[in-house]
Amino acid sequence: MLSRPFNINLTSSVTSYKAGSSITVRCHADGKPFPEFTWVLPSVDNVEFSDYNRTVTIHSAQSPNNGTYQCRAQNTYGKTSAHIDILYEGKSRNWVTTVVVVVVLVLVASVFGICYLCRK
């Protein structure tokens, strides 16, 4: 029986990633005739399409790859789509820890300096 695409779903190797990680997103849909797949992506840089355009792979993801990945399945009887959000985990900039470590090092150096001067 001929039908528009249905049962569309996306699977992803990750839901969040760090710079340099690999991301693979696969799209599946049923329909007769078998649907063709297209994508709407946050960025097309370093993106590889395979498996008749059903799979998107990014081997070294960066911050521009952060966002919504939408797969569209279409045949002569209709179209449907699904999406998944994949989030970039940027570097943690914990400046409080850095400040505390520097203050402690300055205090320790000062105490040793004073002790050295007092011994003379």
- Per-residue pLDDT of 40-86, as tens digits, reads 999 998 999 999 999 999 999 999 999 999 999 999 999 999 999 99
Which residue type sits at 65? N
* Residue 120 or 47, more confident: 47
Nearest by Cα to 17 from 91, 107, 119: 91
Answer whether 62's CB lies under 8 Å from 77's CB. no
Residue 88 phi, psi dihedral angles, 5° rounding: -85, 130
- Domains defined along the chain, listed by start: 3-92 (2.60.40.10)
For the chain, give the mean pLDDT: 90
Average pLDDT over residues 17-35: 97
What pLDDT is attached to residue 102?
A: 78
Confirm if 77 and 92 have CB atoms less than 8 A apart: no
